[in-house]
Structure 1
């Protein structure tokens, strides 16, 4: 009965999506007005292709946002070396920009189709992928079902299930199994994630570790870095990166508290969503803080209190300006953001206690001494002050973080091994087609 119920729910979802499809345009236009959609390419969200399909085998790779996109770049580069075409879909404007900067025209980038049958079917009818590889926690029912109906192998890589997602799926186990049985393989980030996928019916499941560890350090424009370093000079700095609403206020509090002890202190604030930066600047100015915005190329002077990092794709720049980084979405919201980039770029990592989405990475960093958790803004101010005053302790945290990141590496190799049974036939097919074309 439960299995029949799950099928009925998925069928209802299919038809509800089809019914909603004709009126979804207004929502996409609204998102485009907010800068959350690429207005010129919004037709791609309806499954309409922006490019012709190339000849030969093709892999559909999907990464939702910036973090997922960065995580799969190394994997994509390996797959490209086999001579296989890749269409990469992402869901945000920022991730599309990252894909363009890191991969340029080596892949075909499209915005992911809405998880509605008409959009997904149109997308699949055009691209006819031989394999679908999804990153992290992208569980879209209609997409999974349509790929399953076409017998396209689906592999979830760098897979993870947050506490909230796992609890939600666990309440509907037959629904989860009806979806996850369509996955040919799940390559999970951690043993905890692996056990959760198995509990929900996914088979087979292997554990790779986090592919974000194996990505190269984020790039930086050296001229911009040197210009900002000259402006900062010998001033003390700390950064609050990937912050969410409320955490920028906490960062401003820390700046004002610690400036009494460190008159030369500069706080670098990098919001997760740069479109909030106008409001943040107004808030900082209302507090009497002097702000330099990266998007305006404002110079950092001796009077600047806050460097507002309101640009996309420059995390490598901001983290190279400091040795202390608080990683956001961990004090006022739950889940946390990825601490690996800050640790890899030589910062002592601080974060709030709500880091469930990156539990394994934080556990390893904390156990090694490379990261510390703080309960609130007061404790954050104390932690920043301690690290500013103690060069040896700061250096030890940085060294421990670098060692921990190195110890976590190897996920890309293990992921490629798991993908080999699906990739090898495509490589053979590509070579045979090349031989025929030359013959």
Structure 2
């Protein structure tokens, strides 16, 4: 594995550059100043006694998909401690709110040998469950070297990543995937790619994102904001990225001529981008009320900028039409369309949904979402859905049915993981009893 050896050598020699990068990110609010040491492998709390399962997801989407699994494991195997690691400030805040008792969060260390070893020395995991495509070489190889069993959950391999791995680093890919005792893929296409790169065994039991509960919201705040919006027709641009706030402002201006008194809601993917998003929209000429500044929506407000963390459930309950960010311009890839669909919103997205290729294609086939080709198409689709209640409700109904249609994925994942979990901590109750309690 010469490429992996070269990678680790270069990373290990780059301690000054790594620390400088982390400090720069810290200054920009992208690292938690109080928990900075965790990124260097320094534990933020003692290790609990007993068996420990380590689950890792890169950011918000991956960690949200792990939550139902963590909750079920805590219920069925109470002897286990769950250690959940992520890499972003936003995901850390979300996990602080939603992790159940008996589960702890830490930031994932940077992928240097001293940091990973320090982390492993302290936490001594009995099992590692990696979500999606988080194949950090030092993390994987150091964990495998200690004999810790590993499984890949919700494994994903995009077209571009697969081509690059096969063409430039086939041996490295096999070296990273072969230590996994099990790889559970999101889709059959992902399963085939993982097999071709060296994972074995590979299975496809469904996408864990289907197991997520509806995004929560304070009912009192939902009611308060609905009253403040005054019955105005509104739509939401959800999980926007750089350039999409300006696009949304232009769409609003075009809509205003077709949908009287329309209000646009915007929720950036990263709340810290709120001020930049506001500036981009105001440059277009729209009037913005910003939630993080406590500004109220008035009759003169064009755009309500919801630059807050953990409030997807609130925003998606206010807007009956939702457009998914990162799907029309820029790098693309899309964001999770199941979140608003689960709440009954009529879902729109652009053609660039590579990160949710299987889900988006199936939603379109089921009439559970619509795709828009460009900015003008987005204007047309939003205008139609805001003025045609029957079409809007039909799309929302199909979306909700689709999002709720694969609740059996979590039991299938648990069954697949049972051979790895049973030696660590046996179940406290049979699956039928646990399922019955969960559905009560």
**TM band (smaller chain):** over 0.9
* Structure 1 match to 2:381: 383
The offset of 1:23, in angstroms, is: 4.5
* Structure 1 match to 2:72: 78
| Secondary structure of 1:27 counterpart | helix
Residues 228 and 299 in structure 1, CA contact (< 8 A), matched pair in contact too: no
Residues 57 and 430 in structure 1, CA contact (< 8 A), matched pair in contact too: no
Structure 1 unmatched runs, 5+: 1-6, 432-439
- Written as runs of structure 1 = structure 2, the 5 A alignment for 1:173-188 is 173-188=170-185
Question: Would the alpha carbon gap of residues 48 and 299 (structure 1) be closer, same or farther in structure 2, given more than 3 Å must change?
Answer: same
Structure 2 unmatched runs, 5+: 430-440
Structure 1 residue aligned with 2:157, among 161, 176, 193? 161
Aligned equivalents of 2:367, 2:356: Cα separation in 1: 16
Residues 21 and 118 in structure 1, CA contact (< 8 A), matched pair in contact too: no
Aligned equivalents of 1:274, 1:109: Cα separation in 2: 20
For each residue in 1:130-189, what CA deviation from the matched residue of structure 2 results, as whole angstroms up to 9, or x when unmatched? 100111111101111101111111111011111221111111212111111111111111
* Structure 2 match to 1:402: 400
Aligned equivalents of 2:374, 2:238: Cα separation in 1: 16
Residues 327 and 350 in structure 2, CA contact (< 8 A), matched pair in contact too: yes
Count of aligned residue pairs for this structure pair = 425
Residues 59 and 129 in structure 1, CA contact (< 8 A), matched pair in contact too: yes
Aligned equivalents of 1:422, 1:210: Cα separation in 2: 20
* Structure 1 match to 2:418: 420
The offset of 1:104, in angstroms, is: 5.6
| Secondary structure of 1:157 counterpart | strand
* Structure 1 match to 2:111: 115
* Structure 1 match to 2:350: 352
* Structure 1 match to 2:438: none
| Secondary structure of 1:426 counterpart | coil
Aligned equivalents of 1:303, 1:292: Cα separation in 2: 10
1:257 lines up with 2:254 in the alignment: yes
* Structure 2 match to 1:244: 241
Give the structure-1-normalised TM-score. Answer: 0.94
Question: Would the alpha carbon gap of residues 28 and 430 (structure 1) be closer, same or farther in structure 2, given more than 3 Å must change?
Answer: farther
Structure 1 residue aligned with 2:12, among 18, 28, 35? 18
CA RMSD of aligned residues (A): 1.6
1:284 lines up with 2:281 in the alignment: yes
* Structure 1 match to 2:320: 323
| Secondary structure of 1:285 counterpart | helix
1:213 lines up with 2:210 in the alignment: yes
Aligned equivalents of 1:352, 1:222: Cα separation in 2: 31
Question: Would the alpha carbon gap of residues 395 and 296 (structure 1) be closer, same or farther in structure 2, given more than 3 Å must change?
Answer: same
Aligned equivalents of 2:214, 2:428: Cα separation in 1: 32
| Secondary structure of 1:407 counterpart | coil
* Structure 1 match to 2:369: 371
| Secondary structure of 2:13 counterpart | helix
| Secondary structure of 2:245 counterpart | helix
